[in-house]
Structure 1
């Protein structure tokens, strides 16, 4: 079943821009020292990834590392990479598939810290494959030939749902993926516009409250503790200002350790961080953050990316992973 290559096409355009500009070698280093802190601009995906960064900033972990973060929300994935390559951002939060696709196309990207991971406990996986309460489906194989909502095409969803389908003895593309924003998915399932949806928190808990049921855990089914997100800088920025990359990793690690030590404090902050209803915040499954990059997750995902033709061959992880 054909899928639009939106992510690949977008990143190809960025690769051509980089090539035409000589790889951006004349760009000035981002940020200057002010008041003992280095200001940097960071964008991350709206939702839990953004909550994580904001929490770390509010708790002083990035300040302790010597950084002053100017944080903005993004839609994530490939959309944020042009801003990074173009010099509008110092650090971008994205998912590992988008970054690996970009690196395979020659974009000068470096992973400087690990982003969002899922839980080691499948019941606490913040992703879920969901269907109506009265659906006869009990697993992804029951959705063969039907429409399944995902937030983006030709990306991490192809990897995790494709793997689930193959584990069920089906071809990885034996369902029809339909692109929908996360906030719209539960209504689309309830209305019968799609047979199921690949949803993440806090929308999973909200969908459960609306009567949808879970029939699979896409992230943890592939690998418990799977790393999905990553923080990226340009290769030039890392080369010219390695101390910024090191400080950012320090701040991410400190925030990850803080949340691991006291997850309920993070949960208590969610209503303010994400403008969430307190009752919803009390029930959502909290993402896992590990600080550094999980090479095992990247190797597993890369192998499947080659199998599913998202890239022709793996990239050199020793080159692109620096934190």
Structure 2
């Protein structure tokens, strides 16, 4: 394991792939997985495309969530798709699980979701779905927040977080099981002297965690922006740590239906070309320029002032992914019992960079 992983999780032993037999159908497996990707901030209008979309000559149907972390997709669709000569159809869905299910079953050609148990289970079931590029990355320090009933300022939160072993048995929250935010909470708790098995874990949507922090209903939680910034702004809670100057953790990824991508390699590669252009612009210019704030408002309805005040998301301009970091996520889900198989799958089998590499060559 890479010892530089930013959550300082203990090293875990990787094992040879040996999937357990499963009698469940693919759709039942997906339906039993995580309720969301852990990073969506609003319910979608969810629809799905019609049967004549996608494929050579047709629009590429893209499942997205109305959240600021989807900005690379928004920018790609609005600015770079036409430049590379592709037509895209943006379809809002209500959760990362909807995105994974839709991509795996061919309802959408591509989409994004958090790096969570649903995608791993879909791969293990043999469905034609792979991560092909990163979406956004972030930091434990930006997501983990403590109730103002526990710490009434940043300084107090930092002091409390030095050792929270006395809070064993208390309630913490994330927005869903088997999602990346649950892993982030687990890594944060290790840092403060607890484990996720030591606490009472509740699953509460991000917006509802803010009042729960304010009234002490939860000791702490993991929230995606803009909700931590909103909580600090209204005094509901405070983050104990500043954003570090280290590599961020991959949180979400772009998924392909690989049956489509293999049948339409030029279209799939052109999609990644346009997406890479968007990633480079965000990596070099930032996520909070007026143009980017306008795009986020257009797709999500979020107040640009709130988004501008939030801690930024991150993406690598070269669409690189630290698979050692990602492996620790899979190992966390394995330990939590969220996976429908009993041996670690090498991340190189989950991530297929064929189309990314072809796009970057051009």
TM-score using structure 2 length: 0.71
Which residue does the alignment assign to 2:119?
Answer: 99
Report 1:168-317 matches (<5 A).
Answer: 168-216=192-240, 224-263=247-286, 264-265=288-289, 266-269=291-294, 270-290=296-316, 291-311=319-339, 312-317=342-347
Gaps spanning 5+ residues in structure 2: where? 1-23, 31-50, 354-362
Q: Provide the aligned C-alpha RMSD in A.
A: 3.0
Which one of the candidate residues 62, 84, 87 is aligned to 2:103? Answer: 84
List per-residue Cα deviations over 1:228-257 (Å, max 9, x = no partner): 101112231222122233222222211111
Residue pair 2:144, 2:185 contacting (<8 A) in 1 also: no
Q: Deviations over 1:42-90 (max 9, x none)?
A: 11222113333122222x2122233222112223332322222222111
* Alignment-derived partner of residue 319 in structure 1: 349
In the other structure, the counterpart of 2:145 is 129
Which digits, 9 at most, give the CA deviation of each residue in 1:15-60, with x for residues without a partner? 5589xxxxxxxxx9952555xxx511111222113333122222x2
Structure 1's unaligned 5+ residue stretches are 1-11, 19-27
- Counterpart among 31, 39, 42 of residue 54 in structure 2: 31
Kindly tell me: are residues 83 and 220 of structure 1, through their superposed partners in 2, closer, same or farther at Cα, counting changes over 3 Å? farther
**2:328 & 2:210 partners in 1: Cα distance?**
30
Q: Which whole-Å CA distance do the structure 1 matches of 2:186 and 2:265 have between them?
A: 37
Deviations 1:71-113 (A, max 9, x none): 1222333232222222211112111123223223433311122
Contact conserved, 1:113 with 1:232, CA < 8 A, in 2?
Answer: yes
TM-score where L is the length of structure 1: 0.79
Cα deviation, residue 216, structure 1: 4.7
Whether 1:144 aligns to 2:168 is yes
Q: Which runs of 4+ in 1 moved over 4 A?
A: 15-18, 216-221
Report the Cα distance in structure 1 between the residues aligned to 2:298 and 2:204, rounded to whole angstroms: 26
CA distance in 1, matches of 2:133, 2:264: 15
Partner of 2:5: none
Sort the Cα spacing of 1:209 and 1:169 in 2 relative to 1 into closer, same or farther, 3 A: closer
CA offsets, 1:108-127, max 9 Å, x none? 311122111116xx76x3x2
Please state how far the C-alpha of 1:182 moved relative to its aligned partner.
1.2
CA distance in 2, matches of 1:236, 1:164: 38
Distance 1:47 1:252 in 2: 17
What secondary structure does 2:198 align onto?
Answer: coil
1:142-200: CA deviation from partner (whole Å, max 9, x where unpaired): 54211112111132233222223234443332112211211221012213332222111
Distance 1:259 1:56, change over 3 A: same
Q: Give the 3-state SS of the residue equivalent to 2:186 in structure 1.
A: helix
Distance change in 2, residues 1:196/1:318 (3 Å): closer
